[in-house]
Structure 1
Amino acid sequence: MIYTLPIRVYYEDTDMAGIVYYANYLKFIERGRSEWVREIGMDQLKMKEEGIVFAVRRVECDYLGSAVLDDQLTVETKVSSVSAARLVMDQWVKRGEELLFQATVTVVCMNETGQPVRLPADIRQMVH
């Protein structure tokens, strides 16, 4: 299943050339993951209270095109694999059908001291 989040490009998202600053694509896909988590019913605040948090471990990305002020974009998020303590997600930023940015993001589950921990069984079920 692919989760889609609409995003509008604001002036603050652009650089001096008038195009979206490269690092903002990482913010866009973070928003996509955060909204996907809400959509499937995962409560990250409750997880944190229980001593479990998610952290990005790796991002592999390609910049394929440029968005500009006022563009309406979509961020698509899809889980590609789940293991005991890790989620790997594919994400795309598009303007209509045009692919502007793509990334594979590895997110790990950690405890309060930064040690890897297993994803709770209920969360593994939510993300499948």
Structure 2
Amino acid sequence: MSHSFPVRIFYEDTDMAGIVYYANYLKYIERARSDIVEQLGVDQRAMREDDIVFAISRVEADYLSAARFGDRLEVRTTHYAKGAVRWMFDQDVLRGDEVLFRAKVTAVCMTTAGKPIRLPAKLRSVLPLPAQ
């Protein structure tokens, strides 16, 4: 399953060198994942009331090139379920056709006490399985 999310770079996103501060890329990919959840019709507030939340358990990131003030970027995400509790994301941040940042993210479904729990049935029914 793939998804596209636009990002515009503002002055506040940059560091003293005028390039996007490295941690902001994590914010951009988080926003894209949140948009995916919403588009799939998953109500995270209702999940929380049922004591179910998502947590990021792993991020592997590569910073390939710098984004700058005024850039218009795109976060491209492919995602799939892996096992009963894991949701995997491959995310690229691009400026045009140039990949600036690449991340592999693992989200897990768990109780607020930290116990792993199965992904909700509604979500499992719409998530693809990994390619063989």
TM-score scaled by length of structure 1? 0.96
Contact 1:81 1:89 in 2 (8 A): no
Contact 1:7 1:74 in 2 (8 A): yes
CA root-mean-square deviation? 0.9
Contact 2:5 2:76 in 1 (8 A): yes
Aligned to 1:100: 100
SS at match of 2:22: coil
Aligned to 1:71: 71
Q: Unaligned stretches of 5+ in structure 1?
A: none
Aligned to 1:50: 50
Q: Unaligned stretches of 5+ in structure 2?
A: none
CA deviations 1:80-112 (Å, max 9, x no partner) are 442101111100100010000000000000102
Q: Which amino acid aligns with 1:117?
A: I
Q: Distance in 2 between matches of 1:26 and 1:112?
A: 23
Equivalences, count: 128
Q: Distance in 2 between matches of 1:80 and 1:126?
A: 9
Q: Distance in 2 between matches of 1:100 and 1:42?
A: 29
Alignment partner of 1:15 is 2:3: no
SS at match of 1:42: coil
Aligned to 1:35: 35
Aligned to 2:109: 109
Q: Percent identity?
A: 54
Q: Distance in 1 between matches of 2:45 and 2:82?
A: 21
TM-score scaled by length of structure 2? 0.93
CA deviations 1:8-63 (Å, max 9, x no partner) are 00111000000000000000000010011111111111111111000000000100
